[in-house]
Structure formats: C-alpha cells, structure tokens
Structure 1
Amino acid sequence: MSKIIGLLQVDSTVGDLAGNAKRLESLSAIAHAHGAKVAVATELAVCGYPPRDLLLQPDFITTSFETAKTLAVKIPILVGTPIPPDNERNLPANGVVRAGLLQAIPNKDNTNRIVARKQLLPSYDVFDETRYFTPANRSGICRSIGEVDLGITICEDAWQAAGLTPSSYRQDPVASLAELGRQGVMLDATVNLSASPYHADKVGSRIKVCRTAAKALQHPFLLANQVGGNDDLLFDGCSLVAWPDGKVVVAPAWQEGVLIVDLAKPENCRWVPFSDSDAFSIGNDEIKFLDSQSDGFENSTEIIEDITDAVIAGLADYCRKSGIKRIVLGLSGGIDSAVAACVACAAVGPENVLGIAMPSRFSSQHSIDDAKYTAEALGMEFKLEPIDDMHSSLEGTIGEVLVDGNPVASENIQSRLRGIIVMAHANAQNRMAIAT
C-alpha cells in the first residue's frame, strides 16, 4: 500500500496564531482529502517565522504551544512551535508538536507529543536563534504516525550534511539518523520542517541539501517550506522531496497549497493549490519533476522570472499583512519608476495604485508624456502635479545657501519636494509610498 504524506506549504503571519491555525487546518484537510496519512507543516508554522523578540514573552510561547496542540485536524500533523519552559528545560526550545483529532491519532489517549527539537541553531546572516532557543542533542524519530515511521529534522538540521552552513556545528543530524539506520532503525522517510528564506536560485541549494540527505539516509527526504513574506524576509515555498537515486519533485513557488507525496512513486506526486487562500500567489502552479542531473532552473530566463515574482510577492504580502490596500508613487517617465509601477500594480491591482508626475522647469514634455503613457498602459490612476512654484519658493527662501554652493544642491531639492508630495498623498489617503 502506498504511503502518502502531505507537505503543507503555508503562508504564516508572525503573531497571528488563530489565523495561522485556521490555515493549517484547511491545508491539512486538503492533504487528508487527497489520501495523505500524515501532514507535515513548516518551521514555527503556528506562530509564524521569524517571531524574533515575541519569543521573549512567556505568554506568547505558551499560547503558541497550546494552539498547536488543539489544531482541529483529521490526520496527524507535524507542526513547528516554540516549546514552553515547563515542557522542556528552563528555556524555550524550537521543536515540533503532533496534534489531531482522536479518531485520527494513533495514540489511544488522544495525547500530543513533542517528537523532535531543533538541533542546529543558526546565528548568522538573518538568523539569531541562539538568542531564543536551546539546541537538542539527538535526532527526532516518530513511529507509526499515520502508518509511517519518520525521522524528523528542522530547517538548519539538514544543511550541515550538504556542507552549506557557514557555522561549525558539533553534530550533524542527518549523519546521526543515517547511523541509526545502519544500526537497524528502519524509517520510511525523513522530513524537514523549514522556513528557508529566499534568494536567487535558493531552490538549487535546497535540492542539493535534500539529495545529499536522501543519499545518506537511503530513503526519501521531504522538505516543507514556508511561503510568503514576513517583514524583511521572503520565503518562496518550493517544498520538495528527493529520493536516494537523485530524483526530485519540487512544488511551485509563491503559492500556498499541499504537495502530495507518494513515497514509493515519484511520478504520482501532485500539487493541490489552496483555493480558499487570501494570500497572494503568482507564477506557474505546476510541480517540477527533476532527474538526477537537473539542479532546478534550466536557464537564466527562469531565474529572472523568479526574481520578478519574488519582488511582487514580497510587496503584496507586506501590504496584505500590514492592512495596506493602496499604493502611491512618483512617475518620472523613466525606467525606474515604470518598473516600480509595474510591481505595484501586480501586487495590489492597478485600481489601487496612484502615479504622480511632478515635472519642474527642467522636465521635458517627453518625460511627462512617457509617465502618462505608463499609467494608461497599466490601468492605474494618474495625476499631474508640477513643482515649479514650490521649487521657486524654496530657492527664494534659501537662495543665499545656493548662490555659491554646489549646483547639485538645487537639483536635489526637486527630488525632496517630490517626496513631500508623494508622502502627503500617502498620509492623507491611507496609501503606502514606494520608492522609485
């Protein structure tokens, strides 16, 4: 009988425990409807990643943990959550809790279990996890969860084996699980609950991580990755699974949904989008089936398209999670402002974007025409607000400063005046100003 696992590619919002729980329950229901026996969510999916100094609030940790334990799901779910001090040592630890309904959990007493804790805590680049967590010293294993025996790792735990971590950790969780296998501990697969931030061609690095782990473990290695933006970080999704022979299946980027994984038959894997999601989605919704020689993107055009999607998705998610519905920007008629306008229109819809041309006496009619044409082509609102009077008035006020000074000072006044106008519209009309 096929063993099916659902990887939940979720767009969590930091701090929105109730909203994140609802998303996890909906995605878990999709996994169950498509035959999955167990669902695997992302790192800290209940509280959202990265929660940063929210983790210094004991009530936040406790509420996150209790929310994870009370998820209303029909199949067992592995879900990332901070673990309160009362449950693990004296400090919060980044771990995994299993939760579900009575009829779906193998445990007869309907209890939830802490089945793994993160072993490798990154403290470089955008990460500062040693500030909040204490590391575990052994690998997690979950027996007979949804008829599957699983090894469990959390994000960074998988990267040491592939040689892609800049830190010198004292242990390698993948190697530890591989050693257990050599000692006769048989597992169907190992999963990784991840919140791996995006950069160009990051999926290529994750493919290497998963292939390295699958080869070392000699069974499938599955990675569920967060999708969407939280503050300054972007997560592209691209959840994936690798087999020991090098075959890889990759979920779409920039979309919420479930990757249904058949451990025995890679060709049976499929992507089910979260059709009721209020999150932004963009790009191709087809999964990629890669042979052992392919490393992800096939050409530079795919990378450029992915970067474009990333910029749009980042702006869209920032606006949605901040309650921002409308955008304003300056339109000069140049390439920079045209690109910014395209991104804004794609992120929140052209009907919610205002472009303002603010010519001075130095502006050409050609640039004004180009600005107007850009707005018309995109279907966005357009206003023409010349700055000549403001510029002349300010020059008269600070004329003594400008007379013998660097001429660039007068030129820069124009950009500052334009910024004042854009910000005035933003404040008065509850819009977000974006730079061009």
Structure 2
Amino acid sequence: MKIAIAQLNYTIGDVDGNASKIIDSIHKAKAQHADLVIFAEQAVSGTPAFDLLRKTTFLELCEDALVEIASCCDGIAAIVGLPILTADGTISAAALIQDRKVLRYIGKKYITARREMGFLVPSKGYEYATIKGHKCAIIVGDDLSRERDFDQSVETVISINARKYGKGTMTYRYEMMRNLAFVESKNLVLVNQVGGSTDIVYDGTSGALNSRGELVLMMKNFEEDFQIFDTKASARPITIPSTYNDRTRLVYEAARCGLRDFFRKNGYRKASIGLSGGIDSAVVASIAADALGAENVRALLMPSPFSSLESVEDAKELARNLGIEYNVIPISEIYTSVVNTLKPVIGGTEFDATEENIQTRIRTVLLMALQNKTDYILLNSSNKSENALGLCTLYGDTAGAFSPTGDLYKSEMYDVARYINRTQGNPIPESILTKEPSSELHPGQKDSDILPPYEVVDAILFRMIEEGQHREEIVNAGFDSEVVEKIHGMIMRNEKKRYQFPPVLRLSSCTFGHERLMPLTNKYGD
C-alpha cells in the first residue's frame, strides 16, 4: 500500500485555509497514485485551540469542512484529524474517509498534555480498519506511546499526531517508535504537524518504520513536506540525527520557525529589538533577521551612563553585519531627569536596584513608542537562566510581544550564537562571545559578582527545573551547598516576575508557566 504523508503547517481557527491545504494534498496524493493520504491530529482546526473546542459553532465549521474534504476523496482513502463534539464532550479524532464518505471517527483515549486538559475528553482509543485490502490500526496522539498488543493481522500502525518540539524529544520519539515497530513486527507511520502556534512549535519530523523497527523515511524538520511510504518497497535504513551539533541546529530552527509563524499568523511583518551589545539581544536579532528578513528588523541602541563604549560598538557592528536598520538613542539625559524628579522621594539613599531598573524601563518606553508609531512589534530577548533567577526587570527587559529565546539557558544562548556564526558568516562579533556577561547597570558590573559561571549555574538550574531534583541531591552530585541554596532561593522568590512574562516559545521539556507552574502565593520552601 502507498501511504502519502502530508506534513503541513496549520493555523488555529483558519478552518477554510486548513481545509484548502488538506484538499491540495489529497489531489497531490491522487496524482502520485497513493492509496491513502494521512494528515495530523486536529489538522482541520489547528491546535492548541483551547476554548474554541467548547464552541459549537467552531466544531460545526470543522465538520462542514470535513464534508468538503471527503468529497475530494474519490479513488483514495484519507485519515484527517479534527475535533468532534460527542455526548460526553469534545474529542480529538481521526476521521476515516473512503469513497468520498466519512466512515467513522477514531478518538484519542489519553489526554496527557496540560494544554488539552479541560478542553478535550477521552475517547475509546485506537481502532482497526481495512484500507485497500491492508489491515491498519489507526491511533491518535500520545496513545501511540501507551498502547501495545495490536492484533496479529494488522500490517501497519498509523499514528496521527500533534507533538510539539522539545530539546531531545525527537530521539526519544523515534526510539519509542522503533521499539514498538520491532516488538509488534508491524510497519509504523507517524504524521505530525509543523510550524509555530503562539508559544508552541511543532517540528514535523514525520516518518515511517518497517516491521523490523528500521527507520526508512524521515521528513523535514520545521518545514512542510509531502512523501510517499510504500509498505511493499524496500528502503535503506536512516540514522536519526543525534549529535550535539544536530541538537543546536534544531534549537535554532525551532526558534526561527516559532518566531516566523508568530508574526505571519498574527499578521505582523516588522520586529524591533533593543541591542545592548550582549549575547542575548545579538542572538534574538540574528534569528529575527533570518526569520523575517533583515529589512523587517529595526534596532535601538540605548546607552546609559554606565554602558561601555565597547558594547555600543559591538551592537553597531552586529547591526551592520545583519543588515538591519538601527538608531543610537542615548538615555543619559532621560535617566538623570527621572532620578532628579524622584529626589523628593528617594533622594539621599544609596544607589541600588532602583536606579538600575529605571534604566531598563526607560529603554522599554522608547521601544514601545517605536512599536506604537511604526508597527515594529517588540521582541523580548531574555533567557531562561535570568528568568529563573529573577535577574530581569519587570516592565523593563521582561517586556515584549514575544520571546523566542526565553526557554533557553544562558549557556545555550552561546551555543546558538556559535551556530549562527558557523552557518551565517560570523555576523555576531567575537567580542560579544568572549566578553564577561554584564547588564552594565552600574559601574564595573559583572554577573559573576553574585553568581558562579553560567556553566555551573545552568547545570544546577537544569537539575532543579527539568529534572526536579531536590537541593540535597544536587549537593550530593558535587555542587557547592551555599550556591545551590542561593539559586533555589532566587528561583522561589521570583515567581511573581514569571507570571508577567510575554509569551515564551517553549523549547524545553519543562517551560515556566506550563510544565512548571507554581502557585504565586506559596509558603512551601523546600
């Protein structure tokens, strides 16, 4: 049997546009003499649709679109994902279409993602179907990782999915599929969505394994793709990319895809960013120029009384290398004016975080003025390390419409920066990569004044956040107990800041506010 795998980029709520893409792929599959064409979970609706899944009118639009899709399926079978309203609530279903008719719906049994809980209800799970004389098991979503012992007469397991990208998930996904295909001795075909949906990005990477558990087809990362898997043809096994460089490339491509689709699907064209001469804004500016085009990115360089001349020159060089428009707007006079205005309130006190935060908030005022006047949407250039520790200013450098890197640790920002230089002709000046990290908010400030090197900090943060280790476990692994306690205290004290972040593109397995959601009012300190 020839199975066409249509890996497409859908837009939440654009039922007509999604249906049009699906119909185009059906015609393409027929032209290539496929017996079956398969589409991702919730392809018609886009996902995550949240409370749209509670709207009867929305669900009816999805079913109406399915009727139109089915009318095109003459001479070919199709499996299409969409939400369906049942007596128990909305399910995530695979519609099986043959001879221009919707024969039945196969629903998802396990609702495991937080973004689906409360919006979808469980269904009965996978079912069998005979397509062109070929017996298949049709399964939806994460049920694939939980179901086993398919009927012996089944030749191929078909999984329609909407699995978001996360660092390292591709290797895990295909290892699970390899084990399943090998143990069950069946072909296994998976189709995934691709593209950004606000703070989620789907990596695509659909594929097929033969009954020996060998990966024989892998589709593109972060791009639409269309390929045919012939269950009877022999094919050479493919190796799953798993090196350090592969992982950094995938992180970069995920950030670029998520940023590009956030703008495209929301009707935005132009992005602004504050360039400081530091690593974070350099990485975000580079991603933005690649995703949106250099002509659509504009930077403001806003040196304060404490900014070094070297940082300003680094930021200028970066902007010139990227080919983006920039302006230098010193904020020294504004800063002095604000501090002087506040003298009746704070006069006579020591310089502290108050004066530091005034600088970052002034910069945000200017960047937001640029957005309001010219429609350049402000990008946030934070990183996960600083977000975790609270080394960020509310209504200052936490501002922005979207954060493409807020789920990447500081050390990962350097990895991505080196990847950018390696693949794009060294746009990021070497001095940005080699200088000691600093916010330059007071004379001689260095991040190392209060913290050990970020390699150490990030190793501790990863154990605490991604792996959920207790402080005692981390100390027993060889980390300094005072440092571990300090970092833990900083994380716990700064939940209030994370509650007010812009949308952060989810690139890890444990993103703040989603996989890790702590109560804002909380006295538990262990």
TM-score by length of 2: 0.68
Partner of 1:353: 297
1:138-163 superposed Cα distances (whole Å, 9 cap, x missing partner):
5312223x554321000111111xxx
SS in 1 for 2:186: coil
1:25-80 superposed Cα distances (whole Å, 9 cap, x missing partner):
12222333333211010001000111111011111112112212211534321001
Question: Are the aligned partners of 1:115 and 1:141 in contact in 2 as well (CA < 8 Å)?
Answer: no
Q: Relative to structure 1, is the Cα distance of residues 387 and 264 closer, same or farther in structure 2, using a 3 angstrom cutoff?
A: same
SS in 2 for 1:362: coil
1:211 to 159, 166, 178: 178
1:337 to 281, 304, 307: 281
Partner of 1:81: 82
Question: Are the aligned partners of 1:37 and 1:147 in contact in 2 as well (CA < 8 Å)?
Answer: no
* Aligned-partner Cα distance in 2 for 1:342–1:427: 23
* Aligned-partner Cα distance in 2 for 1:228–1:351: 23
Q: Is 1:28 matched with 2:26? A: yes
Partner of 2:157: 190
* Aligned-partner Cα distance in 2 for 1:91–1:362: 58
Question: Are the aligned partners of 2:41 and 2:140 in contact in 1 as well (CA < 8 Å)?
Answer: yes
Partner of 1:156: 142
1:291-316 superposed Cα distances (whole Å, 9 cap, x missing partner):
xxx5x224101111111111111111
Question: Are the aligned partners of 2:125 and 2:143 in contact in 1 as well (CA < 8 Å)?
Answer: no
1:121 to 111, 122, 138: 111
1:139 to 114, 121, 126: 126
Question: Are the aligned partners of 1:50 and 1:230 in contact in 2 as well (CA < 8 Å)?
Answer: yes
More off after superposition, 224-233 vs 33-42: 33-42
SS in 1 for 2:102: coil
1:68-100 superposed Cα distances (whole Å, 9 cap, x missing partner):
221153432100111233xxx34222212234x
Write the letter of the residue equivalent to 1:202.
Answer: T
Q: How does 1:29-48 map to 2 (within 5 A)?
A: 29-48=27-46
* Aligned-partner Cα distance in 1 for 2:376–2:140: 38
Q: Is 1:365 matched with 2:305? A: no
1:111 to 86, 101, 110: 101
Question: Are the aligned partners of 2:126 and 2:140 in contact in 1 as well (CA < 8 Å)?
Answer: no
1:347-391 superposed Cα distances (whole Å, 9 cap, x missing partner):
111000001111122222222221111111001111111112211
SS in 2 for 1:311: helix
SS in 1 for 2:221: coil
SS in 1 for 2:245: helix
* Aligned-partner Cα distance in 1 for 2:55–2:105: 24
Q: How does 1:341-420 map to 2 (within 5 A)?
A: 341-400=285-344, 401-420=346-365
More off after superposition, 335-344 vs 405-414: 405-414
* Aligned-partner Cα distance in 1 for 2:197–2:314: 34
1:267-322 superposed Cα distances (whole Å, 9 cap, x missing partner):
28xxxxxxxxxxxxxxxxxxxx42xxx5x224101111111111111111111111
Q: Is 1:263 matched with 2:231? A: yes
Q: Is 1:303 matched with 2:247? A: yes
* Aligned-partner Cα distance in 1 for 2:380–2:332: 21
Q: Is 1:251 matched with 2:195? A: no
Partner of 2:378: 433
* Aligned-partner Cα distance in 1 for 2:136–2:84: 21
Partner of 1:9: 7
TM superposition shift of 1:406: 4.1
SS in 2 for 1:265: coil
Partner of 1:92: 90
SS in 2 for 1:112: strand
Structure 2: 5+ residue stretches without partners: 382-526
Q: Relative to structure 1, is the Cα distance of residues 139 and 331 closer, same or farther in structure 2, using a 3 angstrom cutoff?
A: closer
SS in 2 for 1:264: coil
Question: Are the aligned partners of 1:333 and 1:367 in contact in 2 as well (CA < 8 Å)?
Answer: yes
Partner of 2:432: none
TM superposition shift of 1:402: 4.8
Q: Relative to structure 1, is the Cα distance of residues 395 and 61 closer, same or farther in structure 2, using a 3 angstrom cutoff?
A: same
* Aligned-partner Cα distance in 1 for 2:24–2:10: 13
Over aligned residue pairs, what C-alpha RMSD do you find?
1.8
Structure 1: 5+ residue stretches without partners: 100-104, 161-171, 269-288
2:167 to 192, 197, 200: 200
Partner of 1:102: none
1:314 to 252, 258, 278: 258
* Aligned-partner Cα distance in 1 for 2:284–2:62: 37
Q: Relative to structure 1, is the Cα distance of residues 43 and 402 closer, same or farther in structure 2, using a 3 angstrom cutoff?
A: farther
* Aligned-partner Cα distance in 1 for 2:284–2:94: 40
SS in 1 for 2:283: helix
TM superposition shift of 1:340: 1.2
Question: Are the aligned partners of 1:78 and 1:98 in contact in 2 as well (CA < 8 Å)?
Answer: yes
* Aligned-partner Cα distance in 1 for 2:6–2:191: 6
* Aligned-partner Cα distance in 2 for 1:301–1:415: 34
TM-score by length of 1: 0.82
